Amino acid sequence: MSTTSGAVYGRLSVFYFFYFAALGVLIPFWGLYLLSLDFSAREIGELLAVLVGTKLVAPYIWGLIADYSGRRVRVIQIGSFMAAASFLLVYYVESYWFMAGVMVLYSFFWNAVIPQYDVVTMNHLGKSHRRYGLIRSWGSIGFIIAVILAGALVDQYQGRIILPVLTFVFFAIWLSAMLTPEDRYYAIGKGDSAEKIAQIIRRPEVIALFLVCFLMQFSHGAYYAFFSIHLEHYGYSKTVIGQYWALGVLAEIIIFLIMAKLLNRYGAKKLVITSLIIASVRWILTAYFADSWWIMAISQTMHAATFGLYHAVAIYYVYHYFTGKLQGRGQALYNSLGFGAGGALGSLISGYGWEAMGATATYLIASSSTAVAVVISIALMKDIKPAYD
């Protein structure tokens, strides 16, 4: 049985709803907004790398503070407020370097929030932590609603409309953080007296896990930075582009809802390998068939595996390896090395590749990176196949 009451479940779900609603606006439309400000593809790639790149340091810094202070929710509340407040500076941006500075500032706080919130959620769930996907699915619902609404608004009012939309969502994230109950299971677990974190990250299976996370997120760099621009080039409207993003996340929700059964039946390693293989195929389809609406629809449903399946399994791996007082830093490392280093380098390389080689070659590079990750996962990752409560 779940240790989470209905009220707590609702509060946790609301936070995920608004946090990923922000992503539902940022990921599909921020690149288009930057394009409307006459930034080049190279500059857009660099700016999105900045947005993702703060995940290299911010999650670990805030994770360290949360682990040692024991006030994880307070850290989340402060980070959420500072992200919302600093985002307001975007309204005054007049140059590339000003935009880069503002994006560094607000993303430093914003990117630090979600790893700690995952720890809070897992700890509130207690012995039912494998049901994480059920609560996380509300984030996907928030993403879908936001991306559909934002697509329609951008079509009607142009790109600058996303600024007030994001302002509202960022402050909604902060308000939902203020409603989050403190982490009542904090510091329970063998990690309190087990290996030091340095010993854990030297283990071959943990190195393999983080390498796979890095390569998977590297492959998504071109997708997050240029998929909307790619589709717009082929004549898709902003509304349709938003619907494609929503389709991908809808498929992701289905995976989150059945994740517990999948993990219990197949084990973590097989699921990771499956997600990587599907990712490699997905980027090939995106490279060659962007002009086909139905192939793009199929490609978007693959998001169920390339993000939903992959992320839920990765969260469980990290929860398994980093326990007790190491939880915050473990989740921070996952975000820093995967979404941070992998995502930032992927965005940066895709920006340069887009200008130098074009869309097809850029997506083929993404496909190659996940193929390498398949080899690493088969050779070095260990399996985890839990028994479910």
Q: Is residue 243 part of a domain?
A: yes
Q: Is residue 388 part of a domain?
A: no
How many helices (H) and strands (E) are present in the chain, helices listed first?
18, 0
Record the tokens describing residue 20, joined without a space.
């990923």
Highest mean pLDDT of the ranges 100-114, 118-132, 172-186, 265-279: 265-279
298 contact partners, CB below 8 Å, separation of at least 6: 285
Read off the pLDDT of residues 174-217 as tens digits, 9 standing for 90 and up.
999 999 987 665 444 444 444 578 888 899 999 999 999 999 99
Q: Is residue 188 part of a domain?
A: no
Read off the pLDDT of residues 153-165 as tens digits, 9 standing for 90 and up.
888 887 788 899 9
Q: What is the CATH number of the domain that holds 319?
A: 1.20.1250.20
Q: Is residue 12 part of a domain?
A: yes
Is the predicted pLDDT of residue 92 greater than 50, yes or no?
A: yes
- Rounded to whole angstroms, the Cα distance separating 340 from 217 reads 8
Q: Is residue 385 part of a domain?
A: no
- Rounded to whole angstroms, the Cα distance separating 29 from 245 reads 10
- In this prediction, residues 362-373 reach a mean pLDDT of 96
Read off the pLDDT of residues 19-31 as tens digits, 9 standing for 90 and up.
999 988 987 888 8
Q: Is residue 387 part of a domain?
A: no
pLDDT more than 90, % of the chain: 41
Is the predicted pLDDT of residue 293 greater than 80, yes or no?
A: yes
Report field, pTM of the whole predicted structure over 0.75? yes
Average pLDDT, the chain: 86
Q: How many domains does the chain divide into?
A: 1
Q: Is residue 389 part of a domain?
A: no
Our measurement of the distance from residue 263's CA atom to the centroid of its chain's CA atoms, rounded to an integer in Å, reads: 20
Q: What is the pLDDT of residue 5?
A: 63
- In this prediction, residues 249-255 reach a mean pLDDT of 88
Q: What is the pLDDT of residue 4?
A: 52
Q: What b/e readout covers 133-163, taking b as 16+ CB neighbours within 10 angstroms?
A: bbbbbbbbbbbbbbbbbbbbbbeeeebebbb
- In this prediction, residues 125-131 reach a mean pLDDT of 67
Q: Is residue 78 part of a domain?
A: yes
The range of the structural domain enclosing residue 325 comes to: 6-183+194-380
